[in-house]
Amino acid sequence: MMWKKTEPEDMHSQPAPAPPAQPAPRAAAPQAQARDHAIIGTTVSIKGDVTGEEDLLIEGRVEGRIEFRRHSVTVGKNGRIKADIFAKSITVEGTVEGNLFGEEQLVVRQAGTVRGNIAAPRVALEDGCNFKGSIDMSPKEKAPSPAIADKPALKAP
């Protein structure tokens, strides 16, 4: 009983420290998520190669080459790009002059402008976007290899 009386007194005297201790781990989790997404701001201008291992949002200017093959790249409404972009998925809301290579998908939003070629298995051009170039949506040639191996087997018997 004495222990229980001491414990509530300690809890009443320490309510402020206990809640900050709990939000601190919660705050750390969103910070970790924020680190998985890099941003090039509107006042930033980069000339050269940009590579990384996290998702990227570009609101500034980039001239060169952008390579995030296992992550997504988004060119924001203020983004002005003169570069080839290689990414898992690419979304364009700003302006891109260069070729775009999406491993999974590529989307040009209504406000987006692309001057260059697009290569991705799934491509979406929203109504009102501006695009000049060619589109290659051919799938990767993993499936045809076994089919070619099967055809000689069928011809032999």
Q: Are strands 80-92 and 95-97 parallel, antiparallel or unpaired?
A: parallel
Task: Write down the pLDDT at residue 22.
Answer: 44
Percent with pLDDT over 70 in the chain: 66
Question: Which position has the higher pLDDT, 151 or 75?
Answer: 75
For residue 52, being part of any structural domain is answered with yes
pLDDT tens figures, 46-74: 999 999 999 999 999 999 999 999 999 99
For residue 13, being part of any structural domain is answered with no
CA angle 83/84/89 to nearest 5° reads: 120
For residue 15, being part of any structural domain is answered with no
For residue 150, being part of any structural domain is answered with no
For residue 41, being part of any structural domain is answered with yes
Residue 33 has pLDDT above 50, yes or no: no
Number of domains the chain is built from: 1
Domain hosting residue 73, numbered range? 35-144
For residue 156, being part of any structural domain is answered with no
For residue 8, being part of any structural domain is answered with no
Task: Write down the pLDDT at residue 4.
Answer: 53
pTM exceeding 0.85: no
For residue 25, being part of any structural domain is answered with no
Residue 88 has pLDDT above 50, yes or no: yes
Task: Write down the pLDDT at residue 60.
Answer: 97
